[in-house]
């Protein structure tokens, strides 16, 4: 019984959507240009409850994770560790900016979190012409 449970847990964790965060803001922009993807720029702090909710719940939603992986280079800037906000206005955390591969903002910034459906809708709206 324990073996079945362990196999099930390993299989279930393999099914969770995962994506890789860019190593830095600069690396994310370079990767976006190279891959022709947009940038999902998230300003956060380690103690931000909504940031952690987004990471542990929303980004783990298979649909959200796959969509981010397919169309975006995710970049996270912890404003406590790296207070350089690269010229962006950060009202609270999380604050999101969506950027073209050239680093130009797309639409308006997003402040706060959302559930998986709402965040996926936001991501899809960024991809609409």
Q: Where are the domains of the chain?
A: 2-127
pLDDT of 67 higher than 80:
yes
pLDDT of 99 higher than 70:
yes
Q: Is 62 helix (H, G, I), strand (E, B) or coil?
A: helix
What integer pLDDT is reported at residue 65 of this predicted model? 97
For the entire predicted model, the pTM comes to 0.85
Q: Do 122 and 63 contact (CB within 8 A), yes or no?
A: no
Q: Domain 2-127 class? A: alpha beta
What integer pLDDT is reported at residue 128 of this predicted model? 85
Q: Where are the beta strands (DSSP E) in the chain?
A: 38-44, 72-78, 95-99, 110-111
pLDDT of 17 higher than 70:
no
What average pLDDT does the segment 23-48 reach? 97
pLDDT of 56 higher than 90:
yes
The per-residue pLDDT for range 70-97, each reduced to its tens digit, is 999 999 999 999 898 899 999 999 999 9
d(CA 53, CA 2): 30
Task: Please list, in sequence order, all residues whose beta carbon lies within 8 angstroms of the beta carbon of residue 98, skipping any fewer than 6 positions away.
Answer: 38, 39, 40, 41, 72, 105, 106, 107, 110, 126
Pick 99 or 85 by higher pLDDT: 99
The per-residue pLDDT for range 6-16, each reduced to its tens digit, is 333 333 333 44
Pick 44 or 6 by higher pLDDT: 44
By CB atoms closer than 10 A (0-12, 13-18, 19+), residue 54 is buried
Q: What are phi and psi of 117, to 5 degrees?
A: -65, -45
How far is the first Cα of the chain from the last one, in angstroms, to the nearest whole number? 52
Q: Which of 110, 98, 111 is nearest to 37 (CA)?
A: 98
């Amino acid at each position: 019984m324990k073996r079945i449970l362990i196999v099930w847990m390993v299989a279930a964790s393999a099914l969770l959507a995962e994506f890789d965060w860019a190593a830095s803001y600069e690396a994310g922009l370079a990767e976006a240009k190279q891959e022709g993807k947009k940038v999902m720029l998230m300003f956060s702090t380690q103690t931000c409850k909504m940031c952690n909710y987004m990471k542990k719940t929303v980004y783990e939603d298979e649909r959200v994770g796959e969509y981010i992986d397919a169309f975006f280079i995710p970049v996270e800037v912890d404003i406590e560790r790296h207070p350089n906000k690269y010229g962006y206005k950060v009202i609270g955390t999380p604050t999101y900016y969506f950027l073209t591969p050239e680093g130009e903002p797309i639409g308006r910034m997003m402040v706060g979190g959302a559930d998986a459906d709402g965040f996926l809708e936001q991501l899809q709206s960024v991809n609409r012409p």
